[in-house]
Amino acid sequence: MTEAALTPSERSAIVRDSLAVGVATGAYGVGFGAVSVASGLSVAQTCVLSLLMFTGASQFALAGVVAAGGAPLSGAATALLLGTRNTLYGLRMGPLLRWRGWRRAAAAHVLIDESTAMSVNRETTEAARLGFLTTGVSVFVLWNLATAIGAVAGEAVGDPRTYGLDAAVGAAFLALLWPRLKDRRNVLVAGLAAVVALSMVPLAAPGVPVLAAGGVALLVGVLARRQDPTEIPGPDDVAGGHR
Amino acid sequence: MWTAVLLAGVGCYLLKLAGLSLPERVLSHATVERVADLIPVALLAALVAVQVGSSGTALTLDARALGLGFAVVALLLRLPFLVVVVGAAAVAALARLV
Protein backbone atom coordinates (compact mmCIF):
# COMPACT_ATOMS: atom_id res chain seq x y z
CA MET A 1 0.00 0.00 0.00
CA THR A 2 1.55 3.30 -1.09
CA GLU A 3 1.41 6.36 1.11
CA ALA A 4 1.42 9.02 -1.61
CA ALA A 5 -1.05 11.75 -0.69
CA LEU A 6 -4.12 12.26 -2.86
CA THR A 7 -4.06 15.20 -5.25
CA PRO A 8 -6.94 17.70 -4.90
CA SER A 9 -8.47 16.46 -8.16
CA GLU A 10 -8.37 12.80 -7.07
CA ARG A 11 -9.88 13.87 -3.79
CA SER A 12 -12.75 15.78 -5.38
CA ALA A 13 -13.45 12.94 -7.85
CA ILE A 14 -13.86 10.48 -4.96
CA VAL A 15 -16.06 12.90 -3.05
CA ARG A 16 -18.20 13.59 -6.13
CA ASP A 17 -18.77 9.90 -6.92
CA SER A 18 -19.48 9.10 -3.29
CA LEU A 19 -21.99 11.93 -2.91
CA ALA A 20 -23.83 10.79 -6.05
CA VAL A 21 -24.27 7.36 -4.48
CA GLY A 22 -25.27 8.98 -1.20
CA VAL A 23 -28.00 11.04 -2.84
CA ALA A 24 -29.38 8.16 -4.96
CA THR A 25 -29.44 5.73 -2.05
CA GLY A 26 -30.73 8.27 0.42
CA ALA A 27 -33.68 9.09 -1.81
CA TYR A 28 -34.60 5.43 -1.67
CA GLY A 29 -35.21 5.91 2.06
CA VAL A 30 -38.56 7.54 1.25
CA GLY A 31 -39.67 4.15 -0.05
CA PHE A 32 -38.52 2.42 3.12
CA GLY A 33 -40.34 4.90 5.33
CA ALA A 34 -43.60 4.51 3.42
CA VAL A 35 -43.36 0.72 3.21
CA SER A 36 -42.47 0.37 6.87
CA VAL A 37 -45.50 2.27 8.22
CA ALA A 38 -47.69 0.45 5.69
CA SER A 39 -46.34 -2.80 7.16
CA GLY A 40 -47.66 -1.87 10.57
CA LEU A 41 -44.63 -0.30 12.24
CA SER A 42 -45.09 3.11 13.85
CA VAL A 43 -43.34 6.24 12.57
CA ALA A 44 -41.03 6.10 15.61
CA GLN A 45 -40.16 2.42 15.09
CA THR A 46 -39.50 3.13 11.41
CA CYS A 47 -37.13 5.99 12.20
CA VAL A 48 -35.32 3.99 14.90
CA LEU A 49 -34.74 1.19 12.38
CA SER A 50 -33.04 3.60 9.98
CA LEU A 51 -31.00 5.23 12.76
CA LEU A 52 -29.95 2.10 14.63
CA MET A 53 -30.04 -0.80 12.16
CA PHE A 54 -29.05 1.30 9.13
CA THR A 55 -28.73 -1.41 6.52
CA GLY A 56 -31.44 -1.22 3.87
CA ALA A 57 -32.00 -4.86 2.94
CA SER A 58 -32.39 -5.91 6.59
CA GLN A 59 -34.78 -3.04 7.27
CA PHE A 60 -36.95 -3.93 4.27
CA ALA A 61 -36.83 -7.59 5.31
CA LEU A 62 -38.07 -6.89 8.82
CA ALA A 63 -40.89 -4.71 7.48
CA GLY A 64 -41.70 -7.27 4.76
CA VAL A 65 -42.04 -10.19 7.20
CA VAL A 66 -44.19 -8.12 9.54
CA ALA A 67 -46.35 -6.94 6.62
CA ALA A 68 -46.96 -10.57 5.62
CA GLY A 69 -48.27 -11.22 9.13
CA GLY A 70 -45.09 -12.82 10.46
CA ALA A 71 -43.98 -12.58 14.08
CA PRO A 72 -41.76 -9.52 14.69
CA LEU A 73 -39.03 -11.84 15.96
CA SER A 74 -38.91 -13.85 12.71
CA GLY A 75 -38.60 -10.48 10.99
CA ALA A 76 -35.70 -9.68 13.31
CA ALA A 77 -34.07 -13.06 12.58
CA THR A 78 -34.30 -12.49 8.82
CA ALA A 79 -32.85 -8.99 9.25
CA LEU A 80 -29.93 -10.37 11.28
CA LEU A 81 -29.19 -13.12 8.76
CA LEU A 82 -29.09 -10.55 5.96
CA GLY A 83 -26.90 -8.38 8.19
CA THR A 84 -24.16 -11.05 8.18
CA ARG A 85 -23.34 -9.69 4.72
CA ASN A 86 -21.92 -6.58 6.38
CA THR A 87 -19.63 -8.78 8.49
CA LEU A 88 -18.10 -10.10 5.27
CA TYR A 89 -17.62 -6.55 4.01
CA GLY A 90 -16.00 -5.63 7.31
CA LEU A 91 -13.54 -8.51 7.12
CA ARG A 92 -12.44 -7.22 3.73
CA MET A 93 -12.49 -3.52 4.66
CA GLY A 94 -10.75 -3.77 8.06
CA PRO A 95 -7.19 -4.12 6.74
CA LEU A 96 -7.83 -1.43 4.13
CA LEU A 97 -9.37 1.21 6.42
CA ARG A 98 -7.05 0.43 9.35
CA TRP A 99 -9.06 2.26 12.01
CA ARG A 100 -8.72 1.48 15.71
CA GLY A 101 -10.67 2.22 18.88
CA TRP A 102 -13.60 4.64 18.76
CA ARG A 103 -13.00 5.47 15.10
CA ARG A 104 -13.50 1.83 14.19
CA ALA A 105 -16.60 1.64 16.39
CA ALA A 106 -18.04 4.72 14.67
CA ALA A 107 -17.05 3.56 11.17
CA ALA A 108 -18.76 0.21 11.77
CA HIS A 109 -22.12 1.94 11.89
CA VAL A 110 -21.84 3.15 8.29
CA LEU A 111 -20.41 -0.15 7.00
CA ILE A 112 -23.01 -0.99 4.32
CA ASP A 113 -23.17 -2.11 0.67
CA GLU A 114 -22.69 1.40 -0.67
CA SER A 115 -19.79 2.58 1.53
CA THR A 116 -18.03 -0.73 0.83
CA ALA A 117 -18.61 -0.48 -2.91
CA MET A 118 -17.19 3.04 -3.06
CA SER A 119 -14.02 2.24 -1.13
CA VAL A 120 -13.06 -1.42 -1.60
CA ASN A 121 -11.26 -0.84 -4.90
CA ARG A 122 -9.20 2.17 -3.75
CA GLU A 123 -5.46 1.75 -3.76
CA THR A 124 -4.55 3.61 -0.59
CA THR A 125 -5.95 3.74 2.92
CA GLU A 126 -6.45 7.50 2.55
CA ALA A 127 -8.54 7.11 -0.61
CA ALA A 128 -10.51 4.21 0.85
CA ARG A 129 -11.27 6.16 4.01
CA LEU A 130 -12.41 9.19 2.01
CA GLY A 131 -14.73 7.15 -0.20
CA PHE A 132 -16.00 5.13 2.74
CA LEU A 133 -16.77 8.12 4.96
CA THR A 134 -18.21 10.39 2.28
CA THR A 135 -20.53 7.65 1.05
CA GLY A 136 -21.39 6.27 4.48
CA VAL A 137 -22.13 9.61 6.13
CA SER A 138 -24.07 11.06 3.18
CA VAL A 139 -26.19 7.91 2.88
CA PHE A 140 -26.76 7.94 6.65
CA VAL A 141 -27.93 11.55 6.78
CA LEU A 142 -30.11 11.39 3.66
CA TRP A 143 -31.47 7.89 4.34
CA ASN A 144 -32.68 8.95 7.80
CA LEU A 145 -34.12 12.21 6.55
CA ALA A 146 -35.89 10.41 3.71
CA THR A 147 -37.15 7.66 6.04
CA ALA A 148 -38.83 10.23 8.27
CA ILE A 149 -40.42 11.96 5.27
CA GLY A 150 -41.60 8.65 3.82
CA ALA A 151 -42.97 7.43 7.14
CA VAL A 152 -44.98 10.59 7.80
CA ALA A 153 -46.21 10.75 4.20
CA GLY A 154 -46.97 7.03 4.20
CA GLU A 155 -49.16 7.43 7.23
CA ALA A 156 -51.06 10.20 5.49
CA VAL A 157 -51.73 8.39 2.19
CA GLY A 158 -53.47 5.33 3.64
CA ASP A 159 -53.64 1.98 1.80
CA PRO A 160 -50.22 1.39 0.20
CA ARG A 161 -51.71 -1.01 -2.34
CA THR A 162 -53.28 1.93 -4.17
CA TYR A 163 -49.80 3.19 -5.04
CA GLY A 164 -48.33 -0.21 -5.72
CA LEU A 165 -46.00 0.12 -2.74
CA ASP A 166 -46.33 -3.61 -2.04
CA ALA A 167 -44.94 -4.29 -5.52
CA ALA A 168 -42.11 -1.82 -4.90
CA VAL A 169 -40.77 -3.96 -2.05
CA GLY A 170 -40.42 -7.04 -4.28
CA ALA A 171 -38.69 -4.89 -6.89
CA ALA A 172 -36.34 -3.48 -4.25
CA PHE A 173 -35.27 -6.97 -3.13
CA LEU A 174 -34.78 -8.00 -6.74
CA ALA A 175 -32.62 -4.94 -7.40
CA LEU A 176 -30.46 -5.85 -4.41
CA LEU A 177 -30.19 -9.45 -5.59
CA TRP A 178 -29.51 -8.62 -9.24
CA PRO A 179 -25.73 -7.89 -9.10
CA ARG A 180 -25.22 -11.30 -7.45
CA LEU A 181 -26.90 -13.17 -10.28
CA LYS A 182 -23.86 -12.97 -12.57
CA ASP A 183 -22.70 -16.23 -11.01
CA ARG A 184 -24.34 -19.51 -12.15
CA ARG A 185 -24.33 -21.11 -8.72
CA ASN A 186 -26.02 -18.03 -7.28
CA VAL A 187 -28.75 -18.25 -9.91
CA LEU A 188 -29.34 -21.87 -8.91
CA VAL A 189 -29.45 -21.02 -5.20
CA ALA A 190 -31.79 -18.08 -5.84
CA GLY A 191 -34.17 -20.26 -7.86
CA LEU A 192 -34.14 -23.04 -5.26
CA ALA A 193 -34.64 -20.59 -2.41
CA ALA A 194 -37.63 -19.00 -4.15
CA VAL A 195 -39.22 -22.42 -4.75
CA VAL A 196 -38.59 -23.56 -1.16
CA ALA A 197 -40.03 -20.33 0.24
CA LEU A 198 -43.15 -20.41 -1.94
CA SER A 199 -43.83 -24.08 -1.29
CA MET A 200 -43.69 -23.43 2.45
CA VAL A 201 -46.05 -20.44 2.36
CA PRO A 202 -49.25 -22.51 2.81
CA LEU A 203 -47.65 -24.71 5.47
CA ALA A 204 -45.76 -22.42 7.81
CA ALA A 205 -46.36 -19.20 9.72
CA PRO A 206 -45.50 -16.07 7.73
CA GLY A 207 -41.82 -15.23 8.04
CA VAL A 208 -40.77 -18.85 8.40
CA PRO A 209 -40.58 -19.64 4.64
CA VAL A 210 -37.93 -16.95 4.12
CA LEU A 211 -35.83 -18.26 7.01
CA ALA A 212 -36.22 -21.81 5.71
CA ALA A 213 -34.91 -20.68 2.33
CA GLY A 214 -31.75 -19.67 4.15
CA GLY A 215 -31.27 -23.41 4.62
CA VAL A 216 -30.70 -23.70 0.86
CA ALA A 217 -27.64 -21.48 1.26
CA LEU A 218 -26.37 -23.69 4.07
CA LEU A 219 -26.95 -26.90 2.11
CA VAL A 220 -25.40 -25.75 -1.16
CA GLY A 221 -22.52 -24.04 0.66
CA VAL A 222 -21.64 -27.22 2.54
CA LEU A 223 -22.06 -29.55 -0.44
CA ALA A 224 -20.40 -27.43 -3.13
CA ARG A 225 -16.80 -28.07 -4.06
CA ARG A 226 -15.92 -25.17 -6.31
CA GLN A 227 -14.45 -22.20 -4.51
CA ASP A 228 -15.96 -18.86 -5.27
CA PRO A 229 -14.64 -15.41 -4.45
CA THR A 230 -16.25 -13.45 -1.64
CA GLU A 231 -18.82 -11.15 -3.13
CA ILE A 232 -18.20 -7.55 -2.33
CA PRO A 233 -20.25 -4.94 -4.19
CA GLY A 234 -18.38 -2.65 -6.59
CA PRO A 235 -19.31 0.85 -7.79
CA ASP A 236 -21.46 -0.69 -10.56
CA ASP A 237 -23.65 -2.47 -8.07
CA VAL A 238 -25.08 0.40 -6.04
CA ALA A 239 -27.64 3.10 -6.69
CA GLY A 240 -26.07 6.19 -8.22
CA GLY A 241 -22.81 4.38 -8.96
CA HIS A 242 -21.26 4.10 -12.42
CA ARG A 243 -23.13 1.71 -14.62
CA MET B 1 -42.50 -4.97 17.99
CA TRP B 2 -40.12 -2.64 19.84
CA THR B 3 -38.18 -5.66 21.13
CA ALA B 4 -37.69 -6.91 17.56
CA VAL B 5 -36.68 -3.45 16.29
CA LEU B 6 -34.11 -2.85 19.03
CA LEU B 7 -32.77 -6.41 19.09
CA ALA B 8 -32.27 -6.55 15.32
CA GLY B 9 -30.91 -2.99 15.26
CA VAL B 10 -28.23 -3.60 17.88
CA GLY B 11 -27.51 -7.05 16.42
CA CYS B 12 -26.93 -5.64 12.94
CA TYR B 13 -24.50 -3.06 14.36
CA LEU B 14 -22.57 -5.75 16.22
CA LEU B 15 -22.34 -7.81 13.01
CA LYS B 16 -20.75 -4.81 11.27
CA LEU B 17 -18.34 -4.17 14.15
CA ALA B 18 -17.37 -7.84 14.29
CA GLY B 19 -16.44 -7.67 10.60
CA LEU B 20 -14.14 -4.69 11.09
CA SER B 21 -12.60 -6.19 14.23
CA LEU B 22 -12.00 -9.84 13.36
CA PRO B 23 -8.92 -10.87 11.40
CA GLU B 24 -9.54 -11.45 7.68
CA ARG B 25 -8.39 -15.08 7.91
CA VAL B 26 -11.80 -16.02 9.37
CA LEU B 27 -12.76 -16.12 5.69
CA SER B 28 -10.06 -18.62 4.85
CA HIS B 29 -12.33 -21.51 5.80
CA ALA B 30 -13.85 -22.32 2.41
CA THR B 31 -17.19 -23.66 3.65
CA VAL B 32 -17.78 -20.71 5.96
CA GLU B 33 -17.07 -18.34 3.13
CA ARG B 34 -19.38 -20.14 0.68
CA VAL B 35 -22.28 -20.31 3.11
CA ALA B 36 -21.84 -16.68 4.15
CA ASP B 37 -21.81 -15.68 0.49
CA LEU B 38 -24.90 -17.66 -0.41
CA ILE B 39 -27.07 -16.54 2.53
CA PRO B 40 -27.94 -13.12 1.10
CA VAL B 41 -28.65 -14.69 -2.31
CA ALA B 42 -31.08 -17.24 -0.84
CA LEU B 43 -32.77 -14.78 1.51
CA LEU B 44 -33.22 -12.03 -1.07
CA ALA B 45 -34.62 -14.49 -3.63
CA ALA B 46 -37.02 -15.90 -1.02
CA LEU B 47 -38.07 -12.39 -0.04
CA VAL B 48 -38.80 -11.50 -3.67
CA ALA B 49 -40.88 -14.67 -4.10
CA VAL B 50 -42.84 -14.33 -0.88
CA GLN B 51 -43.33 -10.58 -1.24
CA VAL B 52 -44.71 -10.92 -4.75
CA GLY B 53 -46.35 -14.35 -4.75
CA SER B 54 -48.16 -14.66 -1.43
CA SER B 55 -50.70 -13.02 0.86
CA GLY B 56 -50.61 -14.38 4.39
CA THR B 57 -50.53 -18.16 3.97
CA ALA B 58 -52.01 -18.18 0.43
CA LEU B 59 -50.12 -18.21 -2.86
CA THR B 60 -51.38 -15.39 -5.08
CA LEU B 61 -50.78 -13.97 -8.52
CA ASP B 62 -51.81 -10.34 -8.91
CA ALA B 63 -50.68 -6.86 -9.97
CA ARG B 64 -47.47 -7.29 -7.97
CA ALA B 65 -46.26 -9.84 -10.52
CA LEU B 66 -46.64 -7.24 -13.27
CA GLY B 67 -44.66 -4.81 -11.15
CA LEU B 68 -41.91 -7.41 -10.76
CA GLY B 69 -41.98 -8.02 -14.52
CA PHE B 70 -41.31 -4.34 -15.05
CA ALA B 71 -38.46 -4.51 -12.53
CA VAL B 72 -36.82 -7.37 -14.45
CA VAL B 73 -36.98 -5.44 -17.72
CA ALA B 74 -35.69 -2.27 -16.05
CA LEU B 75 -32.78 -4.17 -14.48
CA LEU B 76 -31.93 -5.80 -17.82
CA LEU B 77 -31.86 -2.32 -19.35
CA ARG B 78 -29.58 -1.23 -16.47
CA LEU B 79 -31.92 1.55 -15.44
CA PRO B 80 -31.22 3.27 -12.09
CA PHE B 81 -32.48 1.71 -8.84
CA LEU B 82 -35.03 4.42 -8.27
CA VAL B 83 -36.60 3.86 -11.71
CA VAL B 84 -36.76 0.11 -11.06
CA VAL B 85 -38.56 0.50 -7.75
CA VAL B 86 -40.83 3.45 -8.51
CA GLY B 87 -41.67 1.99 -11.94
CA ALA B 88 -42.67 -1.35 -10.42
CA ALA B 89 -44.95 0.45 -7.98
CA ALA B 90 -46.49 2.53 -10.78
CA VAL B 91 -47.11 -0.52 -12.99
CA ALA B 92 -48.83 -2.38 -10.14
CA ALA B 93 -50.92 0.67 -9.22
CA LEU B 94 -52.00 1.17 -12.85
CA ALA B 95 -52.86 -2.52 -13.24
CA ARG B 96 -55.15 -2.22 -10.24
CA LEU B 97 -56.93 0.77 -11.77
CA VAL B 98 -57.93 -1.10 -14.93
**What are the tens digits of pLDDT across the range A175-213?**
989 999 998 999 999 999 999 999 999 998 888 999 999
Pure H helices in A28-124 = 29-38, 43-48, 56-67, 72-97, 101-109, 113-117
pLDDT band at residue A243 under the 50/70/90 scheme: very low
User: B67 or B34, which is more confident?
Assistant: B67
User: A143 or A224, which is more confident?
Assistant: A143
pLDDT band at residue A227 under the 50/70/90 scheme: low
- Whole-number pLDDT of residue A233: 83
B3: in domain? no
- The model carries a pTM of 0.88
Chain A neighbors of B96, CB-CB under 8 A:
161-162, 164
Contact (CB<8Å) A171/B68 = yes
Contacts of A230 (CB under 8 A, 6+ apart): A88, A92, B27, B33, B36, B37
Q: Other CB atoms closer than 10 Å to residue A44's CB: what's the count?
A: 11
* Of A103, A12, A222, A60, the residue nearest B33 (C-alpha): A222
Nearest-CA residue of chain A relative to B64?
Answer: A167
- Beta bridge partner(s), residue B58: B55
Cβ-Cβ contacts under 8 Å between A and B: the total is: 340
> For chain A, what percent of residues have pLDDT higher than 90?
62
Q: Where in the sequence is the domain holding B82, given as residue range(s)?
A: 29-97
B21: in domain? no
Per-residue model confidence as pLDDT tens digits over A42-52 = 999 999 999 99
Output the CA torsion sign for A8, A14, A18, A20: positive
B47: in domain? yes
Rg (CA), chain A: 19
- Whole-number pLDDT of residue B23: 85
B71: in domain? yes
- Whole-number pLDDT of residue B59: 93
Residue A1 scores a pLDDT above 70: no
> For chain B, what percent of residues have pLDDT higher than 70?
100
B10: in domain? no
Q: For A7, which DSSP code?
A: P
Chain A neighbors of B86, CB-CB under 8 A:
31, 168
Contact (CB<8Å) A189/B41 = yes
Chain B neighbors of A91, CB-CB under 8 A:
19, 22, 24, 26-27
Residue A223 scores a pLDDT above 80: yes
Chain B neighbors of A89, CB-CB under 8 A:
19
Half-sphere exposure of B45 (CA within 13 A, CB side): 27
Q: Identify from A201, A227, A231 which residue to disrupt to test chain B contact, counting B C-beta atoms within 10 A and taking the largest count.
A: A201
Residues 164-203 of A with CB under 8 A from B: 164-178, 180, 185-186, 189-198, 201-203
Nearest by CB to A52, which of B10, B51, B68? B10
User: A132 or A120, which is more confident?
Assistant: A132
Tell me the C-alpha distance between B56 and B76, whole Å. 30
Chain A neighbors of B57, CB-CB under 8 A:
201-206
Q: Identify from B29, B51, B60 which residue to disrupt to test chain A contact, counting A C-beta atoms within 10 A and taking the largest count.
A: B51
Tell me the C-alpha distance between A39 and A57, whole Å. 15
Residues A153-180 as b/e (b if ≥16 CB within 10 A, e otherwise) read ebeeeeebbebbbbbbbbbbbbbbbbbb
- Whole-number pLDDT of residue A228: 66
Tell me the C-alpha distance between A99 and B36, whole Å. 24
Tell me what the mean pLDDT of segment B4-10 comes to. Answer: 97
Contact (CB<8Å) A82/B51 = no
- Whole-number pLDDT of residue B36: 84
Q: Which of A96-100, A211-215, A234-238, A239-243 has the lowest mean pLDDT?
A: A239-243
Q: For A112, which DSSP code?
A: S
- Whole-number pLDDT of residue A33: 93
Per-residue model confidence as pLDDT tens digits over B40-88 = 999 999 999 999 999 888 899 999 999 999 999 999 999 988 889 889 9
B2: in domain? no
B15: in domain? no
- Beta bridge partner(s), residue B54: B59
* Residues shown for chain A: 243
Element (H, E) at A213: helix A208-223
B1: in domain? no
- Whole-number pLDDT of residue A144: 97
Contact (CB<8Å) A88/B64 = no
User: A132 or A34, which is more confident?
Assistant: A132
Tell me the C-alpha distance between A148 and A43, whole Å. 7
> For chain A, what percent of residues have pLDDT higher than 70?
95
Å from A204 to nearest chain B CA? 7
- Beta bridge partner(s), residue B55: B58
pLDDT band at residue A3 under the 50/70/90 scheme: low
Query: What ipTM score was computed for the predicted complex, to two decimals?
Result: 0.91
The mean predicted confidence, pLDDT, of chain A is 90
- A31 vs B: CB within 8 A: yes
- Per the structure, the count of domains in chain B is 1
> For chain B, what percent of residues have pLDDT higher than 90?
66
Å from B29 to nearest chain A CA? 11
Per-residue model confidence as pLDDT tens digits over A85-120 = 999 899 989 999 999 999 999 999 999 999 999 998
Asked whether B46 and A196 are in contact (CB, 8 A), the reply is yes
Q: Identify from A62, A88, A226, A227 which residue to disrupt to test chain B contact, counting B C-beta atoms within 10 A and taking the largest count.
A: A88
- B19-B20-B24-B26 Cα dihedral, nearest 10 degrees: -30
| Cα A241 from chain centre | 15
Phi, psi torsion values for A240, nearest 5 degrees? 85, -5
